[in-house]
Amino acid sequence: MPFGFMDSKELARFLGDDARRIDKLAQRGSIPCQKVNGVFRFNRAEITEWLQQQFSGLAHGALKVMDDGMSSHRNVESQLIVSPMLRKSGIALSLPARTKRSVLKELVKLASETELLYDSETLEEELVMREDISSTALEDGFAIPHPRRPQQYIIAEPILVFGRTLSSIAFGASDGSMSDLFFMVCSNDDQHHLHILARLCRLFCHKGFGDSLREAESEAEILGIIEETERAVLK
C-alpha cells in the first residue's frame, strides 16, 4: 500500500536511517506519528509531505546520509539518478515567464515536450496546490516545483525538466531571495520522489553549480554540467 502506515524499523529502511534515531524523533514530537498500543506508527503520506518541507533546511551532511540511505534501500548505490531523467526536450534556456504562476505553466509545457505526460492540466493543478502550502524555492536562486504526492496516473515514467529565466522571479524563498533556476520533478513512487529531491539538493550545494547553469549556452551543456556535478557529489 503506497500510503499505509510504517513502524520505526520500516520507516528507517524507507529513509535509509537508523530506527533508534527515528524513535528519538518520535518521542520528541519532531516527526509526524501516532502511538498505537505503545508503538509509534508513521503514515507514509504524512512522512513524504513532511520530508519535502524539511529538505531546504537540511545541512549537506544530513542530505548525504539520506541520499546514501535511500540509494542503498533502492539498490542504486553510486548510480546517477538525476542526469538520466533529463532530456534535451525538457530543458529551456530562456523560460518565457515573469511570475510564479507562469513559471509553473511553462514548466508543465516543457514536461509535455518529453511525451511522458498524459495530463497537463492535472499536473499544473498539483504544482499550484503544492506551492500554496509552502514555496519550493530554495537559496541561491533554485526552486524545485513538484506535486505533493506521486502521480501514478498522469505520467508514463518519472519526469524531470529544467527551466532558466533570464530575470529572477519572486518565488517565495524563505530568505526573500529571487529564483531563476527551476527543476520540476514529477514521480510515480514516493521513495523515488524523495530520493530525487535529496539528490537535487546535494547538487545545489555543490560550489559553482548554479553559476555554471546560468552561463551555459546550450541544452547539451546543461546536461553535461548536471551529469558532471552529480558524479562529483557521489565521489
Instruction: Answer yes or no: is 146 within a domain.
Output: yes
Q: Are residues 140 and 52 in the same domain?
A: no
CATH of the domain at 30: 1.10.1660
- Burial string for 130-167 (b: 16+ CB within 10 Å, else e) reads bbeeebbbbeebbbbbbbebbbeebbeebbbbbbbbee
- Max CA separation in the chain (angstroms): 59
Element holding 202 (H helix, E strand): helix 190-205
Q: Are residues 149 and 49 in the same domain?
A: no
Q: Is residue 64 part of a domain?
A: no
For residues 37 and 128, membership in a common domain is answered with no
Residue 42, C-alpha cell as written in the block: 508513521
- Domain count along the chain: 2
Question: 35 with 92, same domain?
Answer: no
Residue 76 lies in a domain: no
CATH of the domain at 152: 3.40.930.10
Q: Determine the residue type at 195.
A: H
Both 39 and 89 in one domain: the answer is no
The residue segments making up the domain with residue 104 are 83-234
Same domain, 105 and 219: yes
Q: What is the distance between the alpha carbons of residues 138 and 171, in angstroms, rounded to a whole number?
A: 9
Is 21 in the same domain as 87? Answer: no
**Sites in the chain below the pLDDT cut of 70:** 1-3, 56
In 75-90, which positions are buried (b, 16+ CB within 10 angstroms) versus exposed (e)? Answer: eeeeeebbbebbbeeb
In a domain? residue 102 = yes
* 155 & 102 share domain: yes
Kindly state whether residues 51 and 153 are assigned to the same domain: no
In a shared domain, residues 130 and 223: yes
Q: Report yes or no on 222 lying in a domain.
A: yes
Q: Are residues 89 and 141 part of one domain? A: yes
Torsion of CA 216, 219, 103, 156, to 10 degrees: -150
Tell me if 72 is assigned to some domain: no
Domain boundary among 41, 57, 73: 57
Q: Which amino acid is at 27?
A: Q
Q: In the block, which residue shows the cell 557529489?
A: 233
So what's the pLDDT on residue 2? 46
Residue 203 lies in a domain: yes
- My answer on whether 90 and 184 are in the same domain is yes
Alpha-carbon span 125 to 187, nearest angstrom: 15
Residue 210: all three cell numbers together: 548554479
199 closest CA partner among 33, 47, 74, 49: 74
Residue 185 lies in a domain: yes
Q: What does 37-56 look like in DSSP terms, one character per residue?
A: TTEEEEEHHHHHHHHHHHGG
Which residues, at least 6 apart from 1, have a Cβ–Cβ distance to it below 8 Å? 44
